[in-house]
Structure 1
Amino acid sequence: MFRSFDGQYSSKPKVDLRGRSRVEESREQVLERTRLERKRRQQQKLEQKSALQIQAFWRGRHGVKLLREAIRLAWLHKYCMAGELAQREAGLLSSPLYRELCFFCRPENPADVEFLMGACRLLVAHKDPGGRALCCTMDETQHNGDILLLHAKQVAFMCAQVLISHSNKLYEELHDQPSLSGPSSSSTAASTAIATIEVLTDERTWLSFGSSEAAGKAACAVLDHLAPLSQRLSSSVFAAAPLETNARTGLALKHISSQPSVSSAAAVSPAQHLLSSLARQSLQFASMNRQIIIGMTAHFMCIPLLWERYPALRPLQTKMWQETVRALNELGSVPALLAWLPAEESLGGKAGAAAALLGNLAQVAGACLVDKQLQTHVASSAAQFVSIAGWLLSVLPLQKLFDTGHAMVEDADDDDLRSMPTISAQQSDGLHLNVQQPLVSLLAAQVQCLAEAAILKPLISILLPVTPATAAAASLDAANGRSTDTSAVWKLLELLSTMQDTPALRQNTLIVLAVHAELVPRLWFAYLKGMHAVSAWQPLRDESCDPGWMLPLVIFARTYSTFLSTFGDDYMYRLQKPLPLTELYQPKQSRGLLSLLKFAMWQVLWVETVPSPGGWTGKAGALRAKLKESVGTLLGQLYNRNCRREFAPQQAFQAEDLPPTRFHTEVNVAAASVGGLMEAKHTRVWSILTHAPFLVPFEERARVFQTVITSDRLEQREMGIYGPQSFTMIRRASIFQDGFEKLNLPGETLRGRIRIQYMGTFGDIEAGVDGGGLFKDFMENLIKEGFDPRIGLFKATPDQKLYPNPAAATIEPNAFALFEFMGKMVGKALYEGILLEVPLAGFFLKKLLRRGCDLNDLPSLDAELYRSLLFLRDYDGNVEDLALTFTITDSDFGTNREIELLPGSRERPVTNGNRLEYIHRVANFRLNLQIKRATDAFRKGLEEVISREWITMFNEAELQALIGGGDHQGLDLEDMKQHVNYAGGYEANHPVILEFWRAMQAFTAEEQKAFLRFVTSCSRPPLLGFQYLEPKLCIQMAGSAEDGAAEERLPSASTCVNLLKLPPYRSAGVIRDKLLYAVNNVAGFDLS
């Protein structure tokens, strides 16, 4: 048990013989220390090896430097500085002169430049048209030829480097001195270097290689060796060339439609001569080496304003354009194009190079597409150009290029234009445009050539080759899947979409497509009609984004809308342009344009499943937003024209798959949701009413309007929001003035109940308590006075429709506040269901709906001006003979004043080319700008009471019907019977009432309207029937049946409560005669 006890009661201290007193290291610490020591040893070895390599490299370079200096001194001693002592053989590339020169020459060294230029003068001076001057000492071995070609490449490369390195010093020599036929001993360095490059890249120089093919390969090899310097040549030398006078003054650049030839070589500068030579040679050898085009010619196309700086290139423009678009298209993608673009700051970085490239391509595209040189490859070249233009537009910072701080159309204030998507909202600003004025404006003008007829017209005709004669065959081919090249058409549509989304290009693009390029019939017959007939849409690369019909329909709808806005109804009905009416609607077949438009909106707004609660996003969401905007606008325009002059029944605009019961169910569900119908804006119902309301019958939309207002009234009551709790005192002799002073309240307050108390002339309070009738009477009198043209706020058109007086501010200083107040009162009448006998002009109602007015709205305002503008539009002669300028004469109170339609346009003449713009601006001034402030004020007041979303589901005629009632031929007496109250002893079966209805039945339509005006102060019945008349129509007995004097009395009415006081007449004839007498003489009006 105690075997381990040795008698010691304490342990002996342990002694560590290792001599260390610190704590022992753990295993992990040992491993870490070992790893660090190993890493340190590796680093030491690497440093030692690197030092040896650096030392070796330095010794080698130093040795080469010493050798170069030695050879330079020997070369100088042997050949003298300029080679004056060199023998004739020294002019041969195979001589030691060039071998040694290529070894020691450094182009950045001014002394070496002198040596190089001296040798090059000998070289050029000894050239021979047969080529043997350079190669006469060459033997038949391949080795000697390779050495000779190597020396040629090196000499040409060094000459190009001289031009690049000393471009500032040689500026005047490069751009001012005429090119000479050959350099002499006094030739400048620039002309000598250029002449040497030209000789060495000339095929004739190498003919001694045995054949023209071998000579071409040799010259191509030299040119290919220069290709890596093409970017630096473009940025340092060629881009520095001065502009022609017209470009320097900032004049707008136009398409180059001709190819002028240069008269002689002496007429151009050395730089221009070099660029022409390199471009010509690269085009010549393109078939041997495609990389020369992408490495040289395409870089030359990145020189800003190439055709203005180098007119000598214009004879080559078609070939350069063709080869450039082909080579760039072979890059295959936008990232590859971005990687290829030169990034030199002198070009403005990659963005500046892209803008210059696109501008140079666009400026000559129109001429190239119709050039006979291109006819065999015109379709492929057009498709390639469309692809490249689309790529470049997608990467350019267009907002900076076009400086789009201003609106697309400076005078457009309608939502249809403002809501159109713009490229600045969708585009990534990945490229920075480092270009200053005035160059950026000139580049923008060049790029804007894309939107001109000279390029869009041939592009459309080439890629959509459909004429009226071939329309039937084209539609059949499209239906069978044999239409034009689908990929090329898609690229064209993507380009047009980008241009239409770019504010600076949008307007001109749409006008050219609609008026000059005939895109609507071409796209319809070549693609849309046939595909719609068989539903064989060809999708994009991403079918979930576009099933194949959205993008074509967006472009088509925007263009068609522009045509309808530009031309009057005569073009659509008489000339049947841009499409025959039979293509719009076909009664026996549901394959017309209306069917396609309805299909598109129905699919997007109702059928298509949204992938997420927030809706479509990204590219898919943007495309659907464009579709809703463009197709909805076109459908509305066609609907409005059909309302003016019917070409299809109203049912043709309505969705077949939306029965009223189903629509009502959806409305009720949305109204019952949290927040009510107005908050359910992402529902299918509200999407339809917002973007394509005409898919729903007008009566159904009017019921939705009433539902919304009823819901709002309930909400107002629940929140305790009411109008003034006391009576508002109104002097009967000053209704308009008192109404403005006391009821110009916030819209939220006006939605509540307002009670009126009338005050007589002497301050006495009139009898009666306002239960709604007095307020109705007040509204009728206030509206009648406010819209009276005699007070100056409103004017009447020739057909007696009212619109704001442009000169109202000169009559009434407080005019715009009054306009806002009148808007509130009209809104209050709409809110309360009070019908107003106020005929408003159609163009004014369109402005209230935030829709732009165009030429088609002008006849209602000024028919004579409209006829004059149509005459100008269709004038066959020279419009300049009419001596018109961009001005318009306005008359106020007998004083005429001339107004410029554009700033500084007083001296701008109207020509055949700009007459459409003039017509647009004249119509826009009269319909939009002249009444803009008054309209804005009126609309502001209206929208305070009636939310904008509540009325945008209607057009102008429908809004007028909401304000003033339905415009029916007569009254619906059966509906009227069902919604009338009786008082004073009358009932539905009373003999007098029965005779009353028989008399009403015998009235003409006009007499029925006069009766309704007599009772309710409005000749039109409520839009949805008499059940919506407030207050209800009432017929009260006046007097008693025993009163013998009753036969002598006339009927009277209290319009404030829609009350008819009808004496108990004893015969039908008396009832009819008394009613007509009272109605026609407005007799018996009282407020008792």
Structure 2
Amino acid sequence: MFFSGDPTSRKRVALGGRSSKERDTQKLMEQTRMERDRRLWQRKQNASAIKIQKCFRGRKAAKSERAKVREQFLSRYGSYCQNADRCCFCPDSDYFRQLFFFFNARNAGDFTVLVETCRGILNLVRDNGNIVSLFAGVDYSAVHALVDHRVKNLAYICILSLYQNRQQLLVPDADSVMQATVLLEAVAALIDPKLPWACKAVSYLCQKNVFALFREIVLAERENAKTSSSTGNLSGVEHITGIMISHSGQNSCSCPNVDPKFCFSSQMLTVPFLWKIFPSLKGVFSTQGLSQHYIHQMSLCLQNHANLLPSDISAEYPGYACLLGNILEAAGVTLSQPACPFEMAVDLAGVSTFLLEALPPIKSSSQKAKEDAAMIEEDADSADGIQIVLDKDLERQITTGIDSRFLLQLINVLFGGISAVGDDRSVVAIGAACALLHVTFNTLPLERVMTVLAYRTELVRVLWEFMKNCHDNKRWSSLPEHLSLLPGDSPGWLLPLAVFCPVYKHMLMIVDNEEFYEQERPLSLRDIRSLIVILRQALWQLLWLNPTSPNASAKTTSRENTFKQNPNESIKHRVSIVASELLSQLQDWNNRREFAPPSDFHADGVDDFFISQAVVDGTKANEIMKLAPFLIPFTSRVKIFNSQLVAVKQRHGPHGVFARNRFTIRRDRILEDAYNQMSALSEEDLRGLIRVTFVNELGVEEAGIDGGGIFKDFMENITRAAFDVQYGLFKETVDHLLYPNPGSGLIHEQHLQFFHFLGSLLAKAMFEGVLVDIPFATFFLSKLKQKFNYLNDLPSLDPELYRHLIFLKHYQGDIAGLELYFVIVNNEYGEQTEEELLPGGRNLRVTNENVITFIHLVSNHRLNFQIRQQSSHFLRGFQQLIQKDWIDMFNEHELQLLISGSLESLDVDDLRIHTNYAGGYHKEHYVIDMFWDVIKGFSLENQKKFLKFVTGCSRGPLLGFKYLEPLFCIQRAAGNASDEALDRLPTSATCMNLLKLPPYRSKEQMEAKLLYAINAEAGFDLS
């Protein structure tokens, strides 16, 4: 090679691949590792074999030795211990040492020896009366360790023998019952509380988990009872259990703590219907000290050991449900005792809350009937989950245990211990009560408990004072996490609102107007205004700022997780529902008689973005409009309503001037022609444009092409005629408000078809944005929202009848003396008919006990029953065009505004701002200034006539003239100001909202011409 001038050395590249020697090294290392692992496994195998052999030899030797000792024992004392005497039980005897060594509970001979030993002990004690001297001789203290050991083991092997032979011993024959009785009596004698070793013996038995053995014995007897008419004797087990729980629950002893999984509460109280099996034990447990001890024990255990309960007996008897049923049944006795401790009530509420949370919802019979179809769908949707269905008797035990009486006693004990709202004690009480009631409302039928909670406890007052205090101080106290089921950082108002809202809402359904407005019960109007603010802020935070997930309310039915997967989200979802229902109800009260400005119900932060999102399914804004629309100002909701209408019209398709729905209407037969032609339209055609041609009284078609103005005029005239009380379909209240005539069938044979037509007519007016002058009674507007009418709606129909019913409600004397019966008299067109409110009502007298029922039946008859058919057909026609969810966002007062607009005078200034000018006029022209002065000087009636003259409708747009399409325009009618031109009348083009105004020289002349034109009623001949 020659020198290239490059001083660096080139990198050597091996092209021969990887060395085979290297591969051989790796293979050798892998083989070595495998050999090492094989030798290690073999050593472990050998060591295990040695241990097994050692254990086997030991067991074999022990078995052989036990057999020898057993043989010696039997040869010495006999197979039935016939050779045993008192000396066998003294400390120096090896009787018990041998017996404990060879005893096997499954050996029939050993079992006989044990029974006879116990029988001998009982006979000796019965004769002598001193069991201590029998086991210890003259000095127990000298031999107490040995005696204690013997007594503890003897008691345990007696119980173990009962458990091992439970199937045979529980067979109801004399020998088996006698053997079991002897063993149980012996155990009871050995653990007698008066004996010096009682504490150690009971402690030893608890450490050996005898409650788990007792549980299996009881369950075996329960199964045996299903196939046999007679039952075994469990009174001995009941007696021993009573001794043991009394010792552990009352005595201050040095017993060590027992594993919670094997204690009395988790093992015995989870036996279905324990108190029916052990009735005497229920009395022992219900004594205040015992129940307080064990419920407190269970409270501590459940906080730390969610899965401490034994396996369920079956799917119908989950352990937590059996535990709950037994605790509630015994707690009713405990709570009724005087001076029930506050701490015990807190623990009881906590335990009940935990266990109730795991239950599937329990429905009332009426709810079950209504939800059958829904449950079928849910089963299909939740095929991946386990459907828990409780045994009917167990379900009944729980619902009976947590009845109104139980809740009354518990709430009164909890709140009776509160000295000042806001201190630590009150926070604990409120947290315990609210958590229990929240899960109760979610699990059990509500109708049984609401009235008691509302009227016989201080629940509403205490919760309101707590919430008011926290709100005023701008600091919400955090409820104890172990009681409230919520994380420590959860808002302090969540649980109180979850309970307060449904209970207070229930109260509002019962109170009358006088109690609410005049007496200001149950809360003052000032407090209610504060409550409105709290509810509004809470709802806005839950629904807009921090919304819950869609599935937050789903309740888990899995046995491994007894809590809801996300209790915080679940309670937020619940509060958003109950708070919106209560706030809606308060708004109804405010509409009847205003005590708070409407703006108090409106949330801040509603903008154009919110309005645009409100019509999009699945958005936060859309959910708010469904659940709490009253948070949004009325004008914003009207915009949303109009957006929904526009969207439907766009889906329906474009319509031009030459629409296929053309009506020819005779002015003197307007109702007949409109009914015949509109009734022939399909629902799809009804959504389309309708073009109207009027025929006057002479049979001549009126001038003008319908560009929208003639249709508006038609809608005004047809609604005025159809809803006229003279026609007989509607009646007036004393306030001249309309509602369906209960006797309409006496006047019109086809009255129901007419109501359907009128419903679609009103819907068409709203669909096209035409305001019509139809003042409906408030209670009837509720029916458009498919709301049921109650007593407090009666003043909008018949205030006189309402006053009479309220008089009966507060009557202090004997109502029976008024000679009222459960009948009501209907008076239609001079014809009186008597109708029973209840079957047999003619013979059922109204008394002080049933007067509330009578009052509600009367109001229901007048508000709902009498006009049910008319209302149903009207609503059916109305919903052809207007969906329920569109108007659910409005209350009754707002719905009337949506139909008729404001009753106040025409806003001339607003009209002037949104007016265009043409033909030489402008906003500062002297004729225009005169014109606006003249219009301002018109009466309300003439202003409405003027508006009808120029737009075809006597009502302005609901949100103002800014939304008039097209905007109002004033055009100069004559090119010069000659006398001939000035003698002309103003004319209009309603389809364009156009006024053709000559340039009059004076206000007087302009006023006279305008009044003549708007009062001429010349149809569209002046167009």
Give the structure 2 partner of residue 26 of structure 1. Answer: 24
**Mapped pair 1:582 → 2:534:** no
8 Å Cα contact 1:1016-1:1056 kept in structure 2:
yes
Residue in structure 2 matching 1:514, options 451, 454, 470: 454
Quote the Cα distance in structure 2 between the aligned partners of 1:73 and 1:862.
100
Task: Give the deviation of 1:1016 after TM superposition.
Answer: 8.6
What is the letter of the counterpart of residue 433 of structure 2? L
Quote the Cα distance in structure 1 between the aligned partners of 2:31 and 2:748.
95
What is the letter of the counterpart of residue 552 of structure 1? P
Residue in structure 1 matching 2:298, options 320, 323, 328: 328
C-alpha offsets along residues 430-464 of structure 1, whole Å, 9 cap, x if unaligned? 9875854x334324424xx4352432454255247
Map residues 67-78 of structure 1 onto 2, 5 A cutoff. 67-78=65-76
Map residues 634-783 of structure 1 onto 2, 5 A cutoff. 634-654=582-602, 663=606, 666-667=607-608, 669=609, 678-679=615-616, 682=619, 692-703=628-639, 705-706=641-642, 709=645, 715=650, 720=654, 725-729=659-663, 734-746=672-684, 750-756=686-692, 769-780=705-716, 783=719
Task: Give the deviation of 1:229 after TM superposition.
Answer: 2.6
**Mapped pair 1:439 → 2:356:** no
Give the structure 2 partner of residue 254 of structure 1. Answer: none
Task: Give the deviation of 1:384 after TM superposition.
Answer: 1.8
Structure 2 SS opposite 1:953: coil
C-alpha offsets along residues 905-964 of structure 1, whole Å, 9 cap, x if unaligned? 999999999998998898779867998898787667656644555434321110111112
Structure 1 SS opposite 2:301: coil
Give the structure 2 partner of residue 499 of structure 1. Answer: 440
Quote the Cα distance in structure 1 between the aligned partners of 2:659 and 2:585.
46
Give the structure 2 partner of residue 828 of structure 1. Answer: 764
Quote the Cα distance in structure 2 between the aligned partners of 1:946 and 1:581.
36
Task: Give the deviation of 1:1056 after TM superposition.
Answer: 10
Map residues 920-931 of structure 1 onto 2, 5 A cutoff. none
8 Å Cα contact 1:302-1:354 kept in structure 2:
yes
In structure 2, do the counterparts of structure 1 residues 942 and 999 end up closer, same or farther at CA, with 3 Å as the change threshold? closer
Give the structure 2 partner of residue 379 of structure 1. Answer: 342
In structure 2, do the counterparts of structure 1 residues 880 and 165 end up closer, same or farther at CA, with 3 Å as the change threshold? farther
Task: Give the deviation of 1:164 after TM superposition.
Answer: 3.3
Residue in structure 2 matching 1:64, options 62, 65, 72: 62
8 Å Cα contact 1:854-1:924 kept in structure 2:
yes
8 Å Cα contact 1:731-1:738 kept in structure 2:
no
8 Å Cα contact 2:944-2:954 kept in structure 1:
yes
Structure 1 SS opposite 2:775: coil
Quote the Cα distance in structure 1 between the aligned partners of 2:467 and 2:461.
10
Give the structure 1 partner of residue 887 of structure 2. Answer: 951
Residue in structure 2 matching 1:200, options 190, 205, 208: 190
8 Å Cα contact 1:453-1:517 kept in structure 2:
no
8 Å Cα contact 2:188-2:239 kept in structure 1:
no
Residue in structure 2 matching 1:50, options 31, 48, 51: 48
Task: Give the deviation of 1:878 after TM superposition.
Answer: 11
In structure 2, do the counterparts of structure 1 residues 794 and 100 end up closer, same or farther at CA, with 3 Å as the change threshold? farther
**Mapped pair 1:533 → 2:499:** no
Quote the Cα distance in structure 2 between the aligned partners of 1:762 and 1:1069.
32
Quote the Cα distance in structure 2 between the aligned partners of 1:343 and 1:577.
51
What is the letter of the counterpart of residue 152 of structure 2? K
Task: Give the deviation of 1:1025 after TM superposition.
Answer: 4.0
Map residues 924-1073 of structure 1 onto 2, 5 A cutoff. 942=878, 945-946=881-882, 950-968=886-904, 970-975=905-910, 1001=937, 1003=939, 1022-1025=957-960
Quote the Cα distance in structure 1 between the aligned partners of 2:954 and 2:962.
16
Give the structure 1 partner of residue 538 of structure 2. Answer: 600
8 Å Cα contact 1:164-1:233 kept in structure 2:
yes
Structure 2 SS opposite 1:560: helix
Give the structure 2 partner of residue 316 of structure 1. Answer: 285
Give the structure 2 partner of residue 563 of structure 1. Answer: 507
Quote the Cα distance in structure 1 between the aligned partners of 2:442 and 2:739.
34
Task: Give the deviation of 1:196 after TM superposition.
Answer: 1.8
Structure 2 SS opposite 1:755: strand
Structure 2 SS opposite 1:188: helix
8 Å Cα contact 2:284-2:290 kept in structure 1:
no
Structure 1 SS opposite 2:152: helix
Quote the Cα distance in structure 2 between the aligned partners of 1:73 and 1:1014.
124
In structure 2, do the counterparts of structure 1 residues 148 and 848 end up closer, same or farther at CA, with 3 Å as the change threshold? farther
CA RMSD of aligned residues (A): 6.0
In structure 2, do the counterparts of structure 1 residues 983 and 31 end up closer, same or farther at CA, with 3 Å as the change threshold? closer
Structure 2 SS opposite 1:289: coil
In structure 2, do the counterparts of structure 1 residues 939 and 620 end up closer, same or farther at CA, with 3 Å as the change threshold? farther
Task: Give the deviation of 1:679 after TM superposition.
Answer: 2.5
Structure 2 runs not aligned, ≥5 long:
1-19, 554-564
C-alpha offsets along residues 699-719 of structure 1, whole Å, 9 cap, x if unaligned? 454355446656776x569x6
What is the letter of the counterpart of residue 649 of structure 1? P
What is the letter of the counterpart of residue 472 of structure 2? A
Compare 638-647 and 779-788 and name the one that shifted more: 779-788
8 Å Cα contact 2:709-2:951 kept in structure 1:
no
8 Å Cα contact 2:471-2:534 kept in structure 1:
yes
8 Å Cα contact 2:335-2:409 kept in structure 1:
no
Map residues 273-284 of structure 1 onto 2, 5 A cutoff. 273-284=239-250
8 Å Cα contact 2:342-2:417 kept in structure 1:
no
Give the structure 2 partner of residue 15 of structure 1. Answer: none
Quote the Cα distance in structure 1 between the aligned partners of 2:371 and 2:515.
26
Give the structure 2 partner of residue 452 of structure 1. Answer: 404
Quote the Cα distance in structure 1 between the aligned partners of 2:644 and 2:698.
43
What is the letter of the counterpart of residue 427 of structure 2? T
In structure 2, do the counterparts of structure 1 residues 456 and 753 end up closer, same or farther at CA, with 3 Å as the change threshold? same
Provide the identity percentage: 30
Structure 2 SS opposite 1:1024: coil
Compare 932-941 and 110-119 and name the one that shifted more: 932-941
What is the letter of the counterpart of residue 725 of structure 1? A
Quote the Cα distance in structure 2 between the aligned partners of 1:108 and 1:722.
98
In structure 2, do the counterparts of structure 1 residues 141 and 522 end up closer, same or farther at CA, with 3 Å as the change threshold? closer
Give the structure 1 partner of residue 3 of structure 2. Answer: none
8 Å Cα contact 1:845-1:959 kept in structure 2:
yes
Give the structure 1 partner of residue 495 of structure 2. Answer: 551
What is the letter of the counterpart of residue 1024 of structure 1? L
Give the structure 1 partner of residue 154 of structure 2. Answer: 155
Task: Give the deviation of 1:834 after TM superposition.
Answer: 0.8
C-alpha offsets along residues 42-91 of structure 1, whole Å, 9 cap, x if unaligned? 44444444344334433433443344444444444444444344323446
Q: TM-score, normalised by structure 1?
A: 0.71
What is the letter of the counterpart of residue 342 of structure 2? A
Quote the Cα distance in structure 1 between the aligned partners of 2:805 and 2:169.
58
8 Å Cα contact 2:274-2:326 kept in structure 1:
yes
Quote the Cα distance in structure 2 between the aligned partners of 1:147 and 1:792.
103
Structure 1 SS opposite 2:467: helix
8 Å Cα contact 2:728-2:744 kept in structure 1:
yes
Task: Give the deviation of 1:522 after TM superposition.
Answer: 0.6
Give the structure 1 partner of residue 557 of structure 2. Answer: none
Residue in structure 2 matching 1:368, options 334, 338, 344: 334
Structure 2 SS opposite 1:553: helix
Quote the Cα distance in structure 1 between the aligned partners of 2:87 and 2:634.
97
Give the structure 1 partner of residue 264 of structure 2. Answer: 297
Give the structure 2 partner of residue 840 of structure 1. Answer: 776
**Mapped pair 1:188 → 2:178:** yes
Would you say how many aligned residue pairs link Structure 1 and Structure 2? 959
8 Å Cα contact 1:91-1:122 kept in structure 2:
no
Give the structure 2 partner of residue 355 of structure 1. Answer: 321
Give the structure 2 partner of residue 116 of structure 1. Answer: 114
Quote the Cα distance in structure 1 between the aligned partners of 2:552 and 2:299.
35
What is the letter of the counterpart of residue 234 of structure 1? R
8 Å Cα contact 2:935-2:943 kept in structure 1:
no
Structure 1 runs not aligned, ≥5 long:
1-21, 178-184, 208-214, 249-266, 586-591
Task: Give the deviation of 1:514 after TM superposition.
Answer: 2.8
What is the letter of the counterpart of residue 206 of structure 2? D
Compare 318-327 and 308-317 and name the one that shifted more: 308-317
Residue in structure 2 matching 1:338, options 306, 319, 323: 306
8 Å Cα contact 2:451-2:506 kept in structure 1:
yes
8 Å Cα contact 1:201-1:281 kept in structure 2:
no
Quote the Cα distance in structure 1 between the aligned partners of 2:531 and 2:945.
43
What is the letter of the counterpart of residue 392 of structure 1? L
Structure 2 SS opposite 1:86: coil
Structure 1 SS opposite 2:151: helix
Compare 84-93 and 300-309 and name the one that shifted more: 84-93
Map residues 235-246 of structure 1 onto 2, 5 A cutoff. 235-237=216-218, 240=221
